[in-house]
């Protein structure tokens, strides 16, 4: 048991709260927004029902393990912008473990679905937040998976807006 009332679940619960290391160093601040990317093992191509599973799992944890600001599920990787309510290792373990089990079950296969590592970056200011949100919104378009962000099924951005920028990319949040 941890903190007297929460049971330890899986390997992620045994990791230190604020720093951990696999191949990449990871640091978690006590508060803040993170841009996270994780990819499939050996670039396994996710099929539409598998993308549904991943997208639904990411959205399900909104308000439970993090506040979700943006997410996109592509053919072989996922991007998210979150404000964590739990440690990043616990969050990633929850998403990867559940979705790997479900994807393997629906595909009648066994084995790894996700790479061990994920990439996380602290978002330092509002400009960087807007940059990451725009990147996520435009990623399916740049990957030729959709002609417009509105038609891409596996994309979520909190608080959509428009503005008059001439960048050619979809602006997603107003500047304060």
Give tens-digit pLDDT for 50-80.
Answer: 999 999 999 999 999 999 999 999 999 999 9
Q: Stretch 110-135: mean pLDDT, rounded?
A: 94
Inform me whether the pLDDT recorded for 20 exceeds 80: no
The pLDDT score that the predictor gives to residue 162 is 46
What confidence category does residue 175 fall into, taking pLDDT thresholds of 50, 70 and 90?
Answer: very low
In the predicted structure, residue 40 carries a pLDDT above the cut 50 = yes
* The predicted structure's pLDDT at residue 27: 61
Q: Considering the domain 32-157, what is its CATH architecture?
A: 2-Layer Sandwich (3.30)
- String of b and e for 98-135 (b: at least 16 CB within 10 Å)? bbbebbeeeeeeeeebbbeebebeebeeeeebbebbbb
Confidence of residue 33 (pLDDT cuts 50, 70, 90): very high
* The pTM of the whole model exceeds 0.75: yes
Range of weakest confidence among 14-23, 136-145, 151-160? 14-23
- Tell whether the model's pLDDT for residue 29 goes beyond 90: no
Please say whether the dihedral angle defined by the alpha carbons of residues 51, 42, 15 and 88, taken in this order, is positive or negative. Answer: negative
132 pLDDT above the threshold of 70? yes
Alpha-carbon torsion 37, 38, 42, 46, what sign? negative
Tell me the mean pLDDT in the region 10-15.
39
**Does residue 11 surpass a pLDDT of 50?**
no
d(CA 176, CA 161): 13
Indicate the average pLDDT of the chain: 82
């Amino acid at each position: 048991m941890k903190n007297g009332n929460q049971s330890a679940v899986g390997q992620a619960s045994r990791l230190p709260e604020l720093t951990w290391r696999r191949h990449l160093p990871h640091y978690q601040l006590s508060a803040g927004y993170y841009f996270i990317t994780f990819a499939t093992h050996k670039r396994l191509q996710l099929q539409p029902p598998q993308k549904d599973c991943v997208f639904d799992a990411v959205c399900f944890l909104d308000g439970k393990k993090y506040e979700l600001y943006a997410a996109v599920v592509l053919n072989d990787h996922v991007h998210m912008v979150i404000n964590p309510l739990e440690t990043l290792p616990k969050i990633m373990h929850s998403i990867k473990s559940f979705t790997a089990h479900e994807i393997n079950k629906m595909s009648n296969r066994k084995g790894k679905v996700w790479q061990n590592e994920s990439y996380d970056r602290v978002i330092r200011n509002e400009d960087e937040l807007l940059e990451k949100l725009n990147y996520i919104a435009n990623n399916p378009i740049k990957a030729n998976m959709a002609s417009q962000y509105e038609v891409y099924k596996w994309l979520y951005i909190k608080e959509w807006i428009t503005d008059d920028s001439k960048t050619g990319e979809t602006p997603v949040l107003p500047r304060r």
